[in-house]
Amino acid sequence: ILVGVAFYAISTKLKEEKLREILATLGHANISHITVFKTHKVEDMEVKRKGTLYSLEFTDLEQQKVCRGFVLYSYKKEYSKDVECK
């Protein structure tokens, strides 16, 4: 049980750090409290290639707003976002 809990904690932390770097490149450099709700594997129906869609929430410290939305890592190895800050 302890190994399972440790594995979950480490994988969650690594996923958050990766998304922190991705969001910095997408224009949200100063953020905190990243919560990843779900990670989805998605497929482009035209070319039958897979990508990853992250559903997340974070706090943008520069805007003083809570942002929620999606970050897509496409099969083209590009990142895009659909994030709304309130």
Segment 20-43, tens digit of pLDDT: 888 888 888 888 888 888 888 888
Burial of 20 (0-12, 13-18, 19+ CB in 10 A): middle
Query: In 3-state terms, the chain is what percent helix, strand and coil (to 5)?
Result: 30, 50, 25
pLDDT at 7: 92
Q: Provide the mean pLDDT of the chain.
A: 86
18 pLDDT more than 80: yes
Q: What's the alpha-carbon Rg for the chain, to the nearest Å?
A: 14
Distance from C-alpha of 84 to C-alpha of 77, rounded to nearest angstrom: 23
Distance from C-alpha of 26 to C-alpha of 22, rounded to nearest angstrom: 6
pLDDT at 81: 86
The pTM of the full predicted model, rounded to 2 decimals, is 0.74
